[in-house]
Structure 1
């Protein structure tokens, strides 16, 4: 698998030992979550919006209402050309996972164990079969098996939804792991890592639902009570 491209926006300038350049490292960060922060400029001011994402080997997909300001400004100045490439403004998408607090001997050396990715690109609006495929990708990334189980979007719902494809060609990945970096500090206090783990809990059934929890949700969730 090819390495990530290095540009002025993605070059690791500080803490280079935490940088990752292989594309699989990017996919590991993407697989570990489903919420990203989409950064755009709206009327000269920055706007960073949390949103759900999906992805495949070549693109990250985000969606929202056709009236969404963040999605509108993400593709202003031209949605896409005949070559299928975006010709609007670049956006920045950030994904971060916190794995623990690094508690050192000195406050200065405190930190966080984390995995993060920043993706830069000019998005394009998807239509037709591409739009439907991207919505499926996004849904299956959140809850595998849900696309075939639930009712799929109708024509009116599709018309009210905008979905952007952002290429995964320009990205920066960083990972911090391990203990504090101040082992030579003589101050005699406890130091180490306070790990953080996020797990799915047991599903809570809608009071109006008449069906039992489906198997694909059982596999995805914590144990049922």
Structure 2
């Protein structure tokens, strides 16, 4: 199992017992999510967090957007922080203080780099669509040069990263375990609904 080396930025301090630094866990959390949140400092020093769809290949995290969007155009050569989080359950304790969430999260740091080669951009966009709907790309009208030029693509090395995971029942104070109220976990599950046909 490959371990990521904690840094001053990725070392989990609050709730350190929930920290996970193995690469397989980090990759699984990234792969299970459709959306990441990209935090950046704009050239005018304004902080900005942008939700965006992402995908992974090997040890790289990718995202795309219009070439002019800030989370694409303004990120190369500027450090970013990215968070991905899944909420897996509501942890219902016997006191308000000990209520919690079961979750899996990853935080990454680094400096993105642009992907500009047209063939590689096309390949990566196919990988992105394949994550959402496997096998759909060959059925679609081929992407054209204008669309490819309008699409910006960046990638971030998955090197400076850590995961934080909580899983399990509530942890109450010893004297509260006899309190007459239901306690436990309410699982939260995301699933795909029935497809809705476009009527156009």
TM norm structure 1: 0.83
2:91 is the counterpart of 1:102:
yes
What secondary structure sits across from 1:205 in the alignment? coil
- For 1:122 and 1:160, the matched residues in 2 are separated by 22
Map 1:68-83 → 2, pairs under 5 A: 68-75=69-76
Pairing 1:147–2:137 present: yes
State how 1:1-225 maps to structure 2 within 5 Å.
1-42=1-42, 43-75=44-76, 88-128=77-117, 129-182=119-172, 184-186=174-176, 187-208=179-200
Structure-2 change in CA distance of 1:118 and 1:61 (3 Å): same
Secondary structure of 1:74's aligned partner:
coil
| Contact 2:87-2:104 at 8 Å conserved across structures | yes
How far does residue 152 in structure 1 lie from its aligned partner after superposition? 3.1
Give the TM-score taking structure 2 as reference length: 0.93
Contact 2:40 2:47 in 1 (8 A): yes
SS at match of 2:61: strand
Q: What is the total number of aligned residue pairs between the two structures? A: 196
Q: Deviations over 1:198-217 (max 9, x none)?
A: 11011111113xxxxxxxxx
Distance 1:41 1:144 in 2: 35
Q: Is the 8 A contact 1:101 1:194 kept in 2?
A: yes
- Give the superposition deviation at 1:99: 0.5
**Unpaired segments ≥5 residues, structure 2:** none
Q: Name the counterpart of 1:219.
A: none
Stretches of structure 1 that go unaligned for 5 or more consecutive residues are 76-87, 209-225
Distance in 1 of aligned mates of 2:194 and 2:59? 33
The one of the two structures with greater contact order (alpha-carbon pairs below 8 A, sep at least 6) is 2
Aligned-residue RMSD, C-alpha? 1.3
